[in-house]
Every structure is written in C-alpha cells, then in structure tokens.
Homo-oligomer: A and B are copies of this chain.
Amino acid sequence: MGLPVVGMVGGGQLSRMTHQAAIALGLSLRVLADKTHDSAALVANGVEIGDHTSLEDLRAFAAGCEVVTFDHEHVPGGLIEGLEADGTKVHPGSVALRHAQDKLVMRERLAGLGIPVPAFLPVATVADVVGFAHHNGWPVVLKAATGGYDGKGVWVVRDADEAAEIVASGMRLLAEALVPLRRELAAVVARSPYGQAAAWPVVETVQADGICVEVVAPAPGLSEVRALEAQGLALRLAQELDVVGVLAVELFETDDGILVNELAMRPHNSGHWTIEGSRTSQFEQHLRAVLDYPLGATTMAAPVVVMANVLGGLVDGLDERLHMLFARDPALKIHLYGKEVRPGRKIGHVTALGSDLQDVRRRAREGAAYLKDGTWLS
C-alpha cells in the first residue's frame, strides 16, 4: 500500500497499545523488544529481539523503519545521536528526549524558560543537601537525575543522616523542595514535525506509593483558567523542546498555581483513558505525530472518563476474575497487557465512561481492585 513503517524501541504495554492503533491506520508496528514474551512482542508481527543499549542492534532495527520512536526513555542519548547521524528519522529526537531522560537538564531548561518548577539544586554532598534545606526546609526530596520511574529514584529525606544514605550511592542527584500539593494533574499533548499540536483535556492523576493508580478526565473542579494554563504550558514546552509525538507533562497543583513535576515524551499512563474516552487515542495520535500526519480530534467521547490501573495481586485465577467482572459491569472496558502477574506490577487498566463522576469513578476503582485480588470494594 505504500504506507510507512514505524519502529518502536521497547516491547512494553505502550508498544502493545500503539500496535493496536497502528493496525487501524493500515500499518503494523515494528517492535524492538528485549524478550519474545514482552507485552508487545506477544501481539505484533514485526518483532525483533535486541538490546536497546546496543548501537548495532538499534541500527539493524532502524534499517527497516521510516521512523523510529520509543516506548521508554532508556535508550542512551549518545546512541540516539548515532542513529540521527546515520540519517535515521528519530521522533522524539535526542535533543528533546534529554529533557525526559535527565531531570536536572529538564529542571534547568524549564527554569530558564520561566516555567514554574519546584525549587531545586544539583547536590553531590550532604552539605549541599543541608544547604538546600536551610533555604527550603526539611523534608527534602532527593531525585536521581536519570533512571527513575514509578516512584523509583525518588526519596523524601528528613535530615542530614537520611540524606547521607542516598548521597553515599554516588548517583547524580538533585534536591527539590517538597511541594505542599493539593493534587497532581497531567496535561497531555502531541506535536508533529510540521508544528501542529493538539491537547487533550487536563486530567487528575491519583498516586499511591509513587505509582499512578487512577486518572480522572477531565480533572474534577479544575477552573477553565487553570486548565488553559496547563494546556498552554504543555503546548509551549512541546514547541520549545521540539518534541515530536506525545508529550505528557505531570503537574503539581498547589494553592498558588501549577508546577511542572515530570515530562514523558511518549504515550503515557495518564493518557490511557483516551483509547475509548477521546475521539483520537494517544496511541493513534503518537503515530500520526511521528509520521507527520495531521493530528486527530481530541474531543471527549463521554462527559467523564476514569481509568484505573490494574496492579498485580493474586497470581492465579485472573481468567475467572475476568468472567466475574464482565458479568458485573458489562460496560467497563478492560485492557490486559499479557504480562505475568507479579505483586504490584502494572498488568492492565480498566476504563469507565459516563456522566456521573462518582459512579464512573466507583466503577473503575471497583473493576481494577477486583481484577487484582477478587474482592469487591463495595
């Protein structure tokens, strides 16, 4: 058909769901996976097994693709530059992606752009941390500049002794002020090489132990002014950082306004609700963006949409729990990632749609909790 070939590095659930979206567009995602039983490797036809930290493997993979994109941030920037030097089209590019790979680079760039972020400082010694606390108070948040995700690589320390344990690791660290937040929000947008951009409604993300457990679209009670501010900020960042593809901006909402927490330059957990909840899903949009197709409409398909993550609980009996849940809530949309169940592991998500916030939220929570361990919340 003469349609282009998109390659995605990483075989996780984001690749899996991007492949689903690719099928509708007449495409078939090529996936570079670590293992044959990776989530996306189970369902895609064009799977290559290789090491995403090997330039040789990345080059071999890229050779069959018209554009290469990512389901995670773990490909070293130098290797992405290597692909770019070969003439491979990589979206997002290495320069943009650095801001999702290195929290210190991101913080410094955003501060330079005048975008509100928590007070921060690169720290290498306990004295640095104590000095930071002197101005910003204890507790202090210490973050690994690179490699963290889902709450990993983030520590809240209450004094110099606790800080010393983390500093002793030798990691590149930054200290951040602990923000007195009301809640967390996310602004998810997409941008194409042509410069077209589109924003979904701002969502509320509910975290537990540093892991997102629930996303509510649109964020309940968010004023239009603040919603537009958050969307505008994300769209501006997409442009300033030259992001191509989906950009998820995780935000803290405080009494004084919004601050940027993290960036992700790929489909993101805070956008899974768009599969059924928006006219264009984040997965389709990511493909449209990296292929430089005009972007799709981001209007909501229902007044309220709630997504809840299914975290691994009981290892056995998932099939039976699925039966029971289908029977209990025939309108709930269930997404399983084909991953082995391990306690706490994200193995899927559920999405409920409707018009009554409390009801939709209850259905999503109940569904996710039941799939986890077979008990009904209500």
Contact = CB atoms under 8 A, between A and B. Distances in A.
Nearest to A288: B326
A303 to B, nearest CB: 12
A333 B297 CA distance: 10
A41 B339 CA distance: 23
Nearest to A324: B294
Interface in A330-370: 330-331, 333-341, 347-348, 353
Interface in A1-45: 1-4, 16-17, 19-20, 22-28, 41-45
A279 interface: yes
A25 B294 contact: no
Contacts of A1: 318-319, 336, 338-341, 347
Interface residues of A, number: 55
Contacts of A179: none
Contacts of A25: 322, 334, 336
Contact of A326 (B294, B316, B326, B337): B294
Contacts of A168: none
A295 interface: yes
Contact of A43 (B28, B276, B279, B302): B28
Interface in A265-322: 276, 279-280, 288, 293-297, 299, 301-302, 316-319, 322
Given A4-B319, A22-B43, 10 more contacts: A1-B336, A1-B338, A2-B318, A2-B319, A3-B322, A24-B333, A26-B318, A26-B336, A279-B353, A295-B326
Interface of A: 1-4, 16-17, 19-20, 22-28, 41-45, 47, 276, 279-280, 288, 293-297, 299, 301-302, 316-319, 322-323, 326-327, 330-331, 333-341, 347-348, 353
21 contacts: A1-B338, A1-B340, A1-B347, A2-B316, A4-B319, A16-B23, A22-B43, A23-B43, A26-B336, A26-B337, A26-B348, A28-B43, A43-B44, A280-B330, A280-B331, A293-B323, A294-B323, A294-B330, A296-B326, A297-B331, A301-B302
